[in-house]
Amino acid sequence: MLIVNDLKKDSKGLYNVTLSNKETYKFSEDVVVNYRLVKGKEISLDILNKAKNEENLSKWYNKAVDYSIKYNKGSSEIRTYLKNKEVSSNDIEFIINKLIEKKIIDDNKILDSIVSALVKSSNGKLLIRTKLLQKGYSKELIEIALDNIDLDIYYNELNKVYNKIKNKYNKYDDLVRIQKIKSYLYQRGYTYNEIDTLNIK
């Protein structure tokens, strides 16, 4: 058994807990309260390890909150962020679920925001879908976000791209010129059906 020899709060609001084995650990107030780490308290190694694990989980949860809010990231990107920091899979899922439960992250809203920005940067649905899949978002959520696209804005962007590049291939005969325009727009992620609405001549 170990004994809590000293308990001091530092300037950052954390508690320095010094044990009878002369080791000192930093814990948040929640962990101190949860495990009753008061001066003179006897604790087992098992309790100490649980407190350390909870403190570590709390630290990464807070970092995930900051990352999500600062960079407007969804569950997929937060999962990748934590994985790169070598946080365990179980802890990652706990953190993600807690963020969703507390409504700190909402993948639907984030995806709508990302898709809207990509549309306004003249990206077609095919390219948007690819980019979101690469970020790790589920196909189901991606399709919902694509269905929410404002089609007036979408086709307005398609027209803007077309107007920017329509004279780029004037040195070619009509057949080749039209094919090159369509190919360019297709590379921007627009489908051939969408491109055909332009009535390129």
Which residue has 């569950």 as its token pair? 75
Contact 146, 125 (CB under 8 A): yes
Q: What percent of the chain has pLDDT above 90?
A: 73
- Residue 12, domain member (yes or no): yes
104-9-20 Cα angle (round to 5):
115
- Predicted confidence (pLDDT) at residue 190 exceeds the cutoff of 90: yes
pLDDT in tens, 51-68: 999 999 999 999 999 999
- Predicted confidence (pLDDT) at residue 121 exceeds the cutoff of 90: yes
* Residues 114, 86 share a domain: no
Residue 102 CB coordination number (10 Å): 10
Question: How many CA atoms are closer than 13 Å to the CA of 114, on its beta-carbon side?
Answer: 26
- Residue 118, domain member (yes or no): yes
- Predicted confidence (pLDDT) at residue 112 exceeds the cutoff of 90: yes
Report strand pairing: 24-27 vs 15-19: antiparallel
* Residues 36, 61 share a domain: no
pLDDT in tens, 65-102: 999 989 888 898 999 999 999 999 999 999 999 999 99
| Residue span of the structural domain in which 71 resides | 45-104
pTM beyond cutoff 0.85: no
For the chain, the average pLDDT equals 92
